[in-house]
Structure 1
Amino acid sequence: MPKIVDREARRRAVADAVFRIVARDGLEHASLRNIADEAGLVVGSVRHYFTGHGDMLIFAMDELAGRIDGRVRGHAARLLGAASDAGERRAATEELLAEFLPLDDVRHEEAVLWLAFTTAARTRPELRPRADELQQGMHELLTRILTEARRAGALAEGLEVDTEALRLSALLDGLALQAVLWPDTVTPEAMRRVLRQHLTSLTGRG
């Protein structure tokens, strides 16, 4: 009988090969041939599952975003469930936002990959729409968090939600970038401390 191949499982295996090469060697080395070798496939097999190199990278971006999104959704559910308890709400907010910081080996590799993809999107038109879409999704998430904080009376008077969402996004992106470039200086403890202080400043009670 012919061997039955799970198409989506094979596509995810190729995405994992993309991640390993990008994390180890950089996106410029993520050619179809290098990815095929990393995945233990021939180039023709990779082309069977993707329409081209750009399609493969877009799928990998979606896989990466999906992994982060799955964890974020869990924290979001806890945040909504803690609506009546200020302490629990603050802790749930911190843990949700921490998913975007390289606080452990898994999130550090994700940050490396995300920076590689989004930087490449500046000069690779096939990646730009997806990068823009994911950035917009991040802004909408932060806007919702801050809007809910305002509704619960946990946001300082006079703060403009859209501006604070941009400021919070810049903080998370900046911490992630510096932690990837200078991990010995920008440690998980330092990132936690900065995030906590920023959240406190948003309450106006620091």
Structure 2
Amino acid sequence: MPKIVDPEERRASVAAAVWRVVRRSGLDGVSVRTVAAEAGLSPGSLRHYFATQAEVLAFAMQLVLDRVRARVEAVEPDPDTATAVRRVIEELLPLDAERRAEAEVWLAFTTRAQVDPALRALRDASYDALESVCGQLTDALLPDHPGREAEVERLYALIDGLVLHAVMRPDRATPALMRAVVDRHLTELTR
């Protein structure tokens, strides 16, 4: 009896294989052959789930977005606004191995987005979503703040910068340092 394979589960496992190849060899190391081998599939089997390499890359990039969005949406409310805001921000930062892998893959994809229109659309949508989250967090902390736009942009830059630093210099941008920077920022905002 043939084994029944859940197509969405298989697509997710292929995306995870893409992530591993990207982290090991960069996006230049991603090909149908390398991803298929990493996923334990034949290239022909991989094409059953993804018609093109571009489709594989877009799906793998979308998976990063979906995972981050799910974590942010799962943050439990807290009566202390600053605590709730801090928890959301922490879900956006690479504070553990899983989130570090996402950030490394994300950075590779955003670099490729400069020349790939499909990835560029995903990158732009994700940055718009991050800006929206920063707006919501700023509004929660500083309702009706006259400098709202600048504060949203400052929080956006803080998160984006910490992610970039953590990927580029993980020895310096440690989870403890990132948490301390976020705590200081939130303390200054709420004085």
TM-score normalised to structure 1 length: 0.87
Helix, strand or coil at the partner of 1:99: helix
Match of 2:130 in 1: 138
Structure 2: tracts of 5 or more residues without a match:
none
The list of structure 1 runs, each at least 4 consecutive aligned residues, that deviate by more than 6 angstroms after superposition, is none
1:1-206 matches, within 5 Å, as: 1-75=1-75, 78-79=76-77, 82=78, 85=79, 88-151=80-143, 157-160=145-148, 162-203=149-190, 205=191
Check conservation: 2:82, 2:141, Cα contact below 8 A.
Answer: no
> Once the two structures are superposed, what CA deviation does each residue of 1:28-65 show, in whole Å capped at 9, x if it has no partner?
11111100010111111111111211111111111111
Distance apart, 1:131 and its partner CA: 1.0
Offset, 1:26: 0.8
Q: Distance in 2 between matches of 1:202 and 1:15?
A: 39
- What amino acid maps onto 1:64 in structure 2? V
CA distance in 1, matches of 2:24, 2:44: 24
Give per-residue Cα distances to partners, 1:68-103, cap 9 Å, x unaligned: 11111111xx23xx3xx3xx2211211110112111
What is the identity percentage for the equivalent residue pairs of Structure 1 and Structure 2? 43
Alpha-carbon RMSD across the aligned residues, in angstroms, is 1.5
SS at match of 1:126: helix
Provide the aligned length of Structure 1 versus Structure 2. 191
- With normalisation by structure 2, the TM-score equals 0.93
Alpha-carbon offset, residue 139 of structure 1: 0.8
Which stretches in structure 1 are left out of the alignment for 5+ residues? none
Q: Which amino acid aligns with 1:146?
A: T
